[in-house]
Every structure is written in C-alpha cells, then in structure tokens.
Amino acid sequence: MTADAAGRIAGKVALVTGAGAGIGRAVAERFVAEGAYVVAGDIDADALKSLVDALGEERVAVASCDVTVEADVEALVALAVERFGGLDVAVANAGGGTASELVDHDYAAWQRVVNLCLNGTFLTVKHAGAAMKQSGRGGSIVNLASLNAVQAGRGMGAYCSAKAGVVALTEVAALELGRHGVRVNAVLPGLVRTKATGGMWHVPGVVEEYVENAPLGRFAEPEEVANVVLFLASDEAGFVSGSQYGVDGGARTGRYPDLIGAMQRLSGS
C-alpha cells in the first residue's frame, strides 16, 4: 500500500486503543498527519464517529473495543489486517484509575483498574505481537504506562501497581519479540490535561502541586505525549526497545502530589 502523504510513518498501519479522546486521540491524529492508516478502538461510539469525521474514512477504521475483553482486542487487530493489509504499529493506550488508600480500597475497584491498565495492555501486546510476528515484517508496540509506574502516590496503589506491571510487561515483550523484528517500549506521562484528568482541576491545590513538583513547572498537553509515541513508532527509533520514556517535565525527581489529602480537605473530613 502506497501512502499519499509524506511522514515518518507514511504507509504504515497503526492500531490505537482508547483512541476516542485525550492521548489516544492525539496519537491517532498525529499518525494520520504523518501518513499512517489508523485502526482506532474505544468503548465510546460517539467519540469514534467524531474521529472518523475529523480524519476521514480513507485513513481511519474504527471499532468498539473494550480492552479487557480478549475477543474485542483480537477483532481490532483483525480489522487492521483486513482493512489495510497488515499491522506495523500498536499503541496500548486505554487505561484509567481511582484513588483510595490500600486499607480502604474496594477489591472490585482494584480489580477494574488492574484489568483495564495491565490486562488490557497484555491483550493488546499479545494479539498485536502475534500479527506482527506472523507477517514477518516486524513492527513497533508502544505501551502507555505512567509516572506512577516509578513514583508512588498516596491512594494510587491500584494504578501504581498496574502501571509498574506495564513497564515489566514491556521489557518481557521486548525480550520475546525482538528476534521477530518487533520493538516494544513504554511511555510514562505525568499529568496531562485531558477529559479523563479533568477532575484534577476541580480539587483545589492538586494541579498546582503537580506543577510545583515538575522542574519544568507545568503539565503536559496530549500532543506532547503523541510526539514521543510517534518517535517510538517510527524508523528513527529502529534500535530502541525495552525502554521507558518519561514525559513528565522531570516530575520523577520530585514527589507525587497527595491526592487523598487534597480530597479530604475539599470534603472537610
């Protein structure tokens, strides 16, 4: 398939989970701008329609995909192969979290976070990696972890554990898939302004604490994370695998904000 646009991933076929909004949408938009064909998965049908309306059916195919359901992930990979002839790039972006101290943490809520962030990433790596291995043309898998994979936060036990697992999973996948020409890397964002993180802006002092703890003195926009994902997807990163890329403004050098304390102050408890 010949691309009609010049770019760093021109003509490549990319899969993005959680592509309806935030970082996932920014990645899909950047990939199309760079000449790729994108298969976008999300549980939000309206968001997927909006993505197609913005980027066009010629370049984008969409499907409802709950990354915790293996059949959904397998079908998303199959769509890439059927619609665009293969799979070169996969971005495991879907995720989400909650806040609760460990001794008070509801087990079902814990399981939901781990299932979404870690098991969903595993299923994406499993099926995308299998397709890339079978094609014989290699590829690049980029897993969205988090600053919380390497920096503990009060009330963030489930999310920290799941995202740390994503980093370990990334390294194992890089080890196993490298001989098939498949590179696997992780991106670790700090605070990014998205619809999913919008609640942070309604808890007094939280965003300010994030900004204070980041040496660069601000939070990120989704496009800044997409820039790093694009690099890892491209041939410019041809000898990069099993690596972690922080996009946190240096926040790893500080401490994570006290979300529980801020929420308690807001509620007056």
Residue 210 bears catalytic tag: no
Q: Could you please report the per-residue DSSP string of 92-120?
A: E-------B-GGG--HHHHHHHHIIIIIH
- Distance between CA atoms of residues 221 and 249, nearest Å: 11
Q: Is the four-CA dihedral 66, 68, 72, 75 of positive or negative sign? A: positive
Both tokens of 144, joined, read 């969205």
How far is it, in rounded angstroms, from Cα 211 to Cα 230? 25
How many whole angstroms separate alpha carbon 151 and alpha carbon 160?
A: 8
Dihedral sign, Cα of residue 220, residue 225, residue 227, residue 231: positive
Distance between CA atoms of residues 242 and 229, nearest Å: 14
First to last CA, the chain: 60
- Matching residue, tokens 């964002």: 189
Residues whose CB is less than 8 angstroms from the CB of residue 82 and which lie 6 or more positions away in sequence, other chains included: none
Selecting among 37, 107, 159, 256, the annotated active-site residue is 159
3-class DSSP assignment, residue 124: helix
Cα–Cα distances in angstroms (integers) from residue 86 to residues 77, 78, 125, 153, 198, in the given order: 9, 9, 15, 40, 36
Q: Which helix (H) or strand (E) covers residue 40, if one does? A: strand 37-42
Catalytically annotated residues? 159
